Structures are given as C-alpha cells and as structure tokens.
C-alpha cells in the first residue's frame, strides 16, 4: 500500500516535471509563432550620395528619393522568423553605404511567410542596387549614379530616375517613366513600357513581351529596342526628329511617318524586312529589331 | 585610462579621407605609417581597418566563387563603352573554342560565365545594335561572314547549355513552385527561340539577323541558367 502510494506520487511528480519541461521548451516557440509580423524602422544620417543595397526574397519594395541626407527604412516581415539586417558603414558619422538583407532564420519558413515589405526614403543622390526575387519594386525620384533593379518575376517600375537605370526581370513587366540617364531594360517574357523618356541612351530587350515606347527622342540620342516574338510599338510626336533603322526576320513593319529613305547598297540581311529612313532632320538614332514580332511606328494622335 | 567625460581627440575628415586613400596601398603591403598612426586616433577608421583585415583573413579561406551575371553585364557595358570589346573578340573567341567546355571539373558557374562572355563578345562585334554599323556592314560582306557562327559552335554551345541545364535541374526541386515556374517559362521560351532560329539559319545560313538572334538566345539562356544556379547558393 505504502509502496503503491509512493510510486503514485513519484509518477505524479514525474508527470508534472515532464509537463513543465515541455511547457518551457514549447512556450517560446508558440509565443514566437503567435508574435505575428515583425517590424523594423530605422533612420540613418547619410552623405548626400550613399550607396544602398537591398536583397530581399519576397515582398514589395518601394524606394523614394527625398531631399534629406537621411535614409529612413521601414520593413515589415510576415513572420518573426524572417529578419532584415541593416548594415551601415562607416559605423560613426555620416553613413556612406547601407546594406539591407532579408534572412530566413528558420529553414521551414517558405512561401508567403518569407515576405518582407520594405519602404525606403533615401537621399535623391543615392545609388541603388535592389535584388528582389518575388514582389514588385517601385523606385522614384533618384538622381544617383546608378539604380540597378533585378527580380525573377516581379513588376519593376522606375519613375524620374536620372542616373544609369538598369532593370532585369525574367517574367515581370518593366515600366520606366521619365528616365533621364542611360536606361536599360531586360526581360524574357515580360513587357516593357517606356514613357516620356528623356534618356539619350536607351535599350530595351524582351523575348516574348511587348515593348511600348511613348514619347519624343532627344537629339543625338540612341534608342535600341529589340524583341523576339513580341511586338514593338513606338508612338512619338509629329515634331520628333529621328533616323529609323527597323528590321525584322519574319515579322511585319508598319510605319506611318513619311521617311526620307536612305540610299544604300543591298541589305546584308537578305531575308529581313527592313526599313531605313530619316524623319525631319534625323537627330536621334532609333533601331528597332524583332525576329517575328510586329514593329509599328506611328505619331501620337 | 581616460577619466569620465574625457573624449579622445577626433581627427578631422581630411585625415580620414587621406586614410581612405592610403588604405589600399597599406592592404597591399606597402609601408604606410600614416595609416597606423591614424587608426590609433580615429576609432571609426580603426574599426574599418579591423573589418577589412578580418575580411581579408576570412576570404583567404573561402572557396572561389564565380561573380554574378550582372558583373559580366557591367564589364560588358563598360568595355563596349570604351570600345575595347571589339578588339578582344577574336582572341576570346579562339580561347573559348579551345576550352574543354564539358569537363566535369569545370564549375558550372565558370561555364556560365564563359558562355555569357563568349556569346557577349560574339554578339557584339559589328552588330546591328551599334548605330551606323549597317552601312559599314553592307559595304563589307566579309564582316557579315565573320559574324556567322559555325555548326561546330552551335554544337559546342548546345553542349555547354545542356551541362548548365542539368546542373539547374538538380537544384530545381529546391525552388519554390512560383519561382521554378518563372524560370521554366523563361527557359522554355528561349528553347523555342533557339530551335526556331536554328531551323531558320539552316534554311538561310546567310541571314545575319537570324544569326544574331540565335546568338542572343544562347546568351539569354546562359544568363537565365546562371541566375537560377545562383538562386539557392548559401
């Protein structure tokens, strides 16, 4: 009887101990899981032209230039097991380089839980490098040396960027609005829209997506637009002045500007449909090529 | 020991800028006493130097990694800007063709880099992208002929890309379905482009524009595979 009671009490104690240990072990995990999204907000004093690098797995990224010599970062993560590291150099005084990187702390975190949405206000003179695997990237009002944006399938939108602008997205659409520096857009299946460009050097290339150029050409500018099967549409004002060099292997060419045709020897592209000519004084050079996409050049209504 | 409230003397920014200028030489092993003197006075630069020393130490023990595709793109853009790219084409082309491309000992990243670089270089000379080249081309048919790649090159390129694709397929399962789908769609698109261009070029081997498109499709595929192979690197 005594032994059975002692055994019972020992059993109860052991059970309580096991439960306590289990609670201690499991509770932080449960709390962590219940903690929901994380948030990082930080303001850094910078030079007028800091270099900012952002590497993110998934989420929306917005970067806007402002007149302050400060970088203000707000990042919201979907899971507390995703963290955003901010590394600033030099560590004292005005910051010249900032690196933001998303890390997944738990390898079991996948899919939407990897999401980190980030909004950055940066000095207008900042240079930028953004790599966001999934999720839209929006960049506005930057005049720094360069802005490099890369994504797997996200939409990339850049407005009023004055430096060398490069955007690459495998499957996402790219839209440049009023770029004034050199601009390069590359996609495989996404479409590219170039609106009111003020660039003197602009290149766009996509395979199956469409390219739309809407705006005037800058004198002495070079514009190279190329697709494989996607259509190219150029819509410019009747006052535009350009030298057109359009060719396609199998696609169609459609031009409603009355060009002054150049005299030239037979084309080295025997099977290509080609169109060469000058409109007005031919200040800018416009090269349009496709394999099978339709090329259309027309004035703005 | 510094007493409470005592602040170490802070050097002015001019000294820090001089430190920045002297630093590369110091790290290269050049004797620069000013650097050591400055880090004793400036905690910020001392931290910078310590970090760089640590990076240098750690990097000596790191395996060699291939640079990302964008580095090649930047180099390409810079070389093209400076007009250097055209001069290097024949040498690179010959060098590239001599490489044992499918050797298993060659890292996939290096293959990718080489493929991109070779195609970039092949794609760029006297190409239709450069303004004003068309007239030059039309007056110089030899240039067009030089721009056309041989069937051997196509075969070599196909082998290289197949190697890269096999490496990619080995990693594809670790990708998220949506990302995998994006890469798959892009690769399928480029495969279709390559097949169509090859058919066209066989029918009409003198079509330089189609050749350019074929070259560009190879290049794009190499870039996409490189990007995919970088995807899950730790």
3-state secondary structure chain B: CCCCCCCCCCCCHHHHHHHHHHHHHHHCCCCCHHHHHHHHHCHHHHHHHHHHHHHHHHHHCCCCCCCCHHHHHHHHHHHHHHCCHHHHHHHHHHHHHHCCCCCCCCCHHHHHHHHHHHHHHHHCCCCCCCCCHHHHHHCCHHHHHHHCCCHHHHHHHHHHHHHHHHHHHHHHCCCCHHHHHHHHHHHHHHHHHHHHHHHHHHHCCCCHHHHHHHHHHHHHHHHHHHHHHHHCCC
Greatest mean pLDDT among A14-18, A113-117, A245-249, A279-283 = A245-249
Cα B194 to its chain centre, rounded Å, is 22
Same domain, B119 and B33: no
Same domain, B141 and B215: yes
CB–CB contact B44 A189 (8 Å) = no
Rounded Cα gap, residues B224 and B191, in angstroms = 12
Residue A225: pLDDT band by 50, 70, 90 thresholds?
Answer: very high
Return the pLDDT at A39. Answer: 87
Same domain, B75 and B125: yes
Return the pLDDT at B115. Answer: 61
Same domain, B103 and B167: yes
Mean pLDDT of A199-220: 96
In-domain check, residue B8 = no
In the 8-state DSSP scheme, what is residue A114?
A: G
CB nearest to B182's CB, from A152, A265, A287: A152
Cβ distance A139 to A166 under 8 Å? no
Q: Is B41 on the interface with A (CB under 8 A)?
A: no
Q: Which residue has the higher pLDDT, A31 or A246?
A: A246
Task: State yes or no: pLDDT of A243 exceeds 60.
Answer: yes
In-domain check, residue B3 = no
CB–CB contact A110 B176 (8 Å) = yes
Rounded Cα gap, residues B110 and B65, in angstroms = 9
CB–CB contact A276 B207 (8 Å) = no
CB–CB contact A269 B209 (8 Å) = yes
ipTM above 0.90, yes or no: no
Question: B227 to chain A: which residues are within 8 Å by CB?
Answer: 152, 170
Return the pLDDT at A20. Answer: 61
Q: Is B33 on the interface with A (CB under 8 A)?
A: no
Q: Is B71 on the interface with A (CB under 8 A)?
A: no
Task: State yes or no: pLDDT of A232 exceeds 90.
Answer: yes
Task: State yes or no: pLDDT of A120 exceeds 90.
Answer: yes
Return the pLDDT at A25. Answer: 53
Rounded Cα gap, residues A160 and B193, in angstroms = 34
Which residue positions in chain B have pLDDT lower than 70? 1-12, 57-58, 60-74, 76-78, 80-150, 231-234
Residue A187: pLDDT band by 50, 70, 90 thresholds?
Answer: very high
CB nearest to B208's CB, from A89, A148, A268: A268
Return the pLDDT at B155. Answer: 77
Same domain, B126 and B35: no
Question: A169 to chain B: which residues are within 8 Å by CB?
Answer: none
Q: Which residues form the domain of B190?
A: 69-231
Return the pLDDT at A176. Answer: 98
Q: Is B196 on the interface with A (CB under 8 A)?
A: yes
Rounded Cα gap, residues A128 and A113, in angstroms = 26
CB nearest to B44's CB, from A93, A111, A269: A93
Mean pLDDT of A73-77: 94
Return the pLDDT at A299. Answer: 94
Residue from B46, B134, B212, B230 to probe the interface with A (highest A Cβ count within 10 Å): B134
Exposed, middle or buried by CB within 10 Å (0-12, 13-18, 19+), for B63?
A: exposed
Return the pLDDT at B82. Answer: 66
Of all residues in chain B, the one with the smallest CA distance to A148 is B70
Residue A301: pLDDT band by 50, 70, 90 thresholds?
Answer: confident
Cβ distance B98 to B205 under 8 Å? no
Mean pLDDT of A87-114: 87
Same domain, B78 and B139: yes
Of all residues in chain B, the one with the smallest CA distance to A93 is B44
CB–CB contact B200 A268 (8 Å) = no
Mean pLDDT, rounded, of chain A:
87
Task: State yes or no: pLDDT of A177 exceeds 60.
Answer: yes
Same domain, B139 and B49: no
Task: State yes or no: pLDDT of A21 exceeds 60.
Answer: no
Lowest mean pLDDT among A1-15, A144-158, A264-278: A1-15
Which helix (H) or strand (E) is A5 found in, with range? Answer: helix A2-34
Q: How far does B145 lie from chain A, in Å, by closest CA?
A: 10
In-domain check, residue B5 = no
CB–CB contact A224 B196 (8 Å) = no
Mean pLDDT of A89-95: 90
Same domain, B106 and B22: no
In-domain check, residue B151 = yes
Q: How many domains, in total, are found in chain B?
A: 2
Q: Is B68 on the interface with A (CB under 8 A)?
A: no
Count CA atoms closer than 13 A to B154's CA, side-chain side.
Answer: 16
Residue from A152, A163, A226 to probe the interface with B (highest B Cβ count within 10 Å): A152
In-domain check, residue B1 = no
CB–CB contact B47 A90 (8 Å) = yes
In the 8-state DSSP scheme, what is residue A163?
A: S
Q: Is the pTM of this model over 0.90?
A: no
Same domain, B134 and B179: yes
Same domain, B158 and B224: yes
Answer left, alpha or beta for residue A48, where phi above 0 means left and psi between -120 and 50 means alpha. alpha
Same domain, B105 and B142: yes
Mean pLDDT of A164-175: 95
Question: A207 to chain B: which residues are within 8 Å by CB?
Answer: 189-190, 193, 217, 220
Interface of B with A in 213-232 (CB under 8 A): 213, 216-217, 220, 224, 227, 231
Q: Which residue has the higher pLDDT, B167 or A271?
A: B167
């Amino acid at each position: 009887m005594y032994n059975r009671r002692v055994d019972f009490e020992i059993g109860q104690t052991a059970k309580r101990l096991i439960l306590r240990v289990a609670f201690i072990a499991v509770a932080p995990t449960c709390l962590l899981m219940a903690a929901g999204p994380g948030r990082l907000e930080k303001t850094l004093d910078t030079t007028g032209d800091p270099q900012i690098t952002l590497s993110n797995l998934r989420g929306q990224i917005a970067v806007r230039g402002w007149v302050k010599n400060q970088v203000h970062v707000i990042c919201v993560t979907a899971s507390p097991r995703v963290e955003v590291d901010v590394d600033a150099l030099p560590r004292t005084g005005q910051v010249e380089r900032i690196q933001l990187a998303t890390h997944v702390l738990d390898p079991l975190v996948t899919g939407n839980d990897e999401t980190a949405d980030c909004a950055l206000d940066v000095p207008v003179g900042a240079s930028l490098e953004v790599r966001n695997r999934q999720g839209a990237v929006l960049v506005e009002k930057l005049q720094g040396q360069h802005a490099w944006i890369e994504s797997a399938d996200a939409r990339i939108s850049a407005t009023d960027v004055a430096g060398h602008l490069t955007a690459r997205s495998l499957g996402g659409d790219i839209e440049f609005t009023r770029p004034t520096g050199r601009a390069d857009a590359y996609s495989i299946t996404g479409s590219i829209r170039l609106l009111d460009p003020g660039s003197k050097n602009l290149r766009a290339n996509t395979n199956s997506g469409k390219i739309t150029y809407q705006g005037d050409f800058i004198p002495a500018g070079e514009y190279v637009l190329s697709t494989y099967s996607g259509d190219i549409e150029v819509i410019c004002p009747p006052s535009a002045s350009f030298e057109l060099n359009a060719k396609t292997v199998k696609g169609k060419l459609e031009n409603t500007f009355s060009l002054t045709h150049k005299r030239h020897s037979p084309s080295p592209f025997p099977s290509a449909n080609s169109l060469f000519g000058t409109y007005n004084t031919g200040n800018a050079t416009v090269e349009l090529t496709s394999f099978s996409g339709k090329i259309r050049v027309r004035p703005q209504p | 020991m510094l007493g409470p409230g005592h602040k170490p003397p802070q050097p002015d920014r001019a000294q820090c800028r001089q430190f920045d200028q002297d630093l590369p030489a110091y790290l290269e092993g050049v004797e620069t006493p000013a650097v050591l003197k400055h880090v004793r006075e400036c905690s910020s630069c001392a931290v910078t130097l310590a970090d760089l020393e640590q990076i240098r130490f750690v990097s000596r023990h790191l395996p060699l990694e291939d640079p990302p595709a964008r580095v090649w793109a930047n180099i390409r853009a810079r070389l093209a800007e400076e007009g250097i790219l055209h001069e290097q084409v024949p040498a690179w082309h010959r060098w590239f063709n001599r490489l044992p491309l499918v050797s298993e000992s060659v890292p996939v990243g290096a293959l990718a880099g080489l493929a991109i670089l070779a195609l970039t270089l092949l794609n760029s000379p006297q190409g239709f992208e450069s303004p004003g080249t068309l007239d030059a081309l039309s007056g110089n048919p030899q240039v067009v002929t030089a721009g056309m790649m041989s069937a051997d090159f196509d075969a070599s390129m196909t082998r290289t890309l197949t190697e890269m694709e096999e490496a990619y397929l080995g990693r594809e399962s670790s990708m998220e379905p949506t990302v995998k789908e994006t890469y798959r769609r892009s690769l399928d698109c480029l495969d279709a482009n390559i097949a169509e261009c090859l058919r066209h070029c066989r029918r009409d081997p003198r079509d330089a524009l189609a050749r350019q498109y074929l070259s560009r499709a190879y290049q794009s595929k190499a870039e996409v595979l490189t990007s995919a192979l970088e995807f899950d690197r730790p």
